[in-house]
Amino acid sequence: MKSRITTAAIGAVAIAALAGCSSSAGAPAGSGGAEGAFEPSDVRMIVPFSAGGGSDASGRAIASGLESATGATITVENREGGSGAVGYSHLHAQAGNPDYLLASETTLLSLPLTTDVAYDYTSFTPIMKLGDDYTLVVVPADSPFQSCTDVVDAARGEGVVVAVSGAISLDEIVFTLIEQDQDVTFDRVPFESGSEVIAGLLGGTVEVGSLNPGEVLGQLESGDLRALCSLSEERYEYEQIAEVPTAIEEGIDVSFAQWRGFIAPGGISDEARDYWIAAAEEYVASEAYTQYIEENLMQPNAVYGDEFVEYLAENSADLEAALAE
């Protein structure tokens, strides 16, 4: 109890100081303005997936970054189920409560497009996109394929068996986009996670997979799997995968990112929204953010607030086109 009072006091001092700095000119972009300032208490960060997965890792990273930035205590709650629907529905029910946050990613957009849920991205207040995670097209070391063009050519000829991890997963989407762009069809075998796909590739059940660099780096470095191309706009700068050409270089006009970030419930005050945006900006400037992004081989394309909403609108339209097939 005592420590909470101390924290609140420090927070109040910090806000007063900030308000002092940005004295006259307009509303400060920082911690929510001086009067009627939003002060978080007992914050929950919902992770709509089980503990231990990629969403859980990003949720915990964001929560600890925001804790350092705000001094508030943020408890991570895993509310898994329904491919994320349970967690999002829970946040949906918290409309107007600025002490709830949710570690979000592409399922925010894909679930409402494919499943009968009561919300879509406009039901929430998007705060920050943390960064992007693209995928690499990978094959076993002894595969005859040397480039993504080889894979497409084979799909045109005798057929290629690709791995997908779920009906609305990132790899399902990128393979569909390649099919649409190149007018070919892949044979699919469904798996349930990236590591299952790796086992399927190593065991020879599937010929081609599409995986996040962070998921597959161990097998790439050992030489068990090879990366043919990356489905990103530009080549990666991480030295381990800098040599991998993009699909676009090979004439396959496909790039698609899974984004990660966090959102707040709908209907919260502008002060609360600005408060969280300011906290997010502070987190992105920290060492912890850079470390998270680099460990997961992601792209640090952070955007906030309105810009994030615009991004979601575009991304949702792209997804709809890909899933319409």
Partner 1 sequence: MLENLLLGFQTALTVENILWCFVGVLLGTVIGLLPGLGSTTGVAILLPITFAFEPVTALIMLAGIYYGAQYGGTITSVLISTPGEAASVVTTIDGYQMAKQGRAGPALAISAIGSFIAAIISLVLLIAVAPPLATIALEFQPVEMFAVMILGLVIVVTFQGGALIRGALMAVAGLLVATVGIAPGTGEERFTFGNVNLLSGIPFVEVMIGVFALGEVFYQIRLGAAEPIKARFKDMVIKRKDITDSMPAILRGSGIGFAFGVLPGAGSTLASFMSYGIERRVSRNKASFGKGAIQGVASPESANNAAANANFVPTLALGIPGGATTAVLLGAFTIFGLQPGPLLFESQPELVWGLLVSFFIGNVLLLVLNLPLAPVFAQMLRIPYGYLYPIILLTSLIGAYAVSNNMFSVWLVLVFGVLGYLMKEVDLPMAPFVLGLVLGPLFEKALVQTSAIGQGNLGVVFESPIAVGVLAFAAAMVVVPKLIRPLRKAFAGNRERVGEDAGLF
DSSP tag of 241: G
Torsion sign (Cα): 45, 51, 55, 56:
positive
Q: Which is nearer to partner 1, 37 or 61 (CB)?
A: 61
Residue that the structure tokens 């394309």 belong to: 301
Q: Which is nearer to partner 1, 91 or 272 (CB)?
A: 91
Q: How far is the CB of 163 from partner 1 (least distance, A)?
A: 10
Rounded Cα–Cα distance for residues 137 and 286 (Å): 32
Residue type, 277: I
Q: Which is nearer to partner 1, 115 or 180 (CB)?
A: 115
Task: Choose the binding region for partner 1 from 2-10, 176-184, 193-201, 254-262 (rule: CB under 8 A).
Answer: 193-201
Q: How far is the CB of 244 from partner 1 (least distance, A)?
A: 17
Q: Which of 288, 171, 316, 280 has the alpha carbon at shortest distance from 231?
A: 171
Rounded Cα–Cα distance for residues 30 and 277 (Å): 8
Subset of 89-128 contacting partner 1 (CB under 8 A): 89, 114-117
Helix, coil or strand: residue 175? helix
Q: How far is the CB of 52 from partner 1 (least distance, A)?
A: 3
List Cβ neighbours of 42 (8 Å cut-off, separation of 6 or more): 73, 75, 99
Q: Are 233 and 154 in contact (CB under 8 A)?
A: no
Q: Are 228 and 254 in contact (CB under 8 A)?
A: no
Torsion sign (Cα): 314, 254, 55, 166:
positive
Task: Choose the binding region for partner 1 from 66-74, 78-86, 257-265, 269-277 (rule: CB under 8 A).
Answer: 78-86
| Residue of 13, 42, 68, 218 that binds partner 1 (CB under 8 A) | 218
Subset of 276-315 contacting partner 1 (CB under 8 A): 295-296
Starting from the edge strand earliest in sequence, which strands make up the sheet with 74-78, in order? 74-78, 43-47, 100-105, 258-265, 124-133, 303-304
Helix, coil or strand: residue 302? coil
Q: How far is the CB of 30 from partner 1 (least distance, A)?
A: 29
Q: How far is the CB of 196 from partner 1 (least distance, A)?
A: 7
| Residue of 6, 16, 42, 190 that binds partner 1 (CB under 8 A) | 190
Q: Are 198 and 225 in contact (CB under 8 A)?
A: yes
- Residue 191 as a binder of partner 1 (CB under 8 A): the answer is yes
| Residue of 36, 52, 144, 157 that binds partner 1 (CB under 8 A) | 52
Q: Which is nearer to partner 1, 11 or 81 (CB)?
A: 81
Interface residues with partner 1 (CB under 8 A) are 50-53, 56-57, 60, 77-83, 85-86, 89, 114-117, 161, 166-168, 187-193, 195-196, 198-200, 202-205, 214, 217-219, 221-222, 224, 295-296
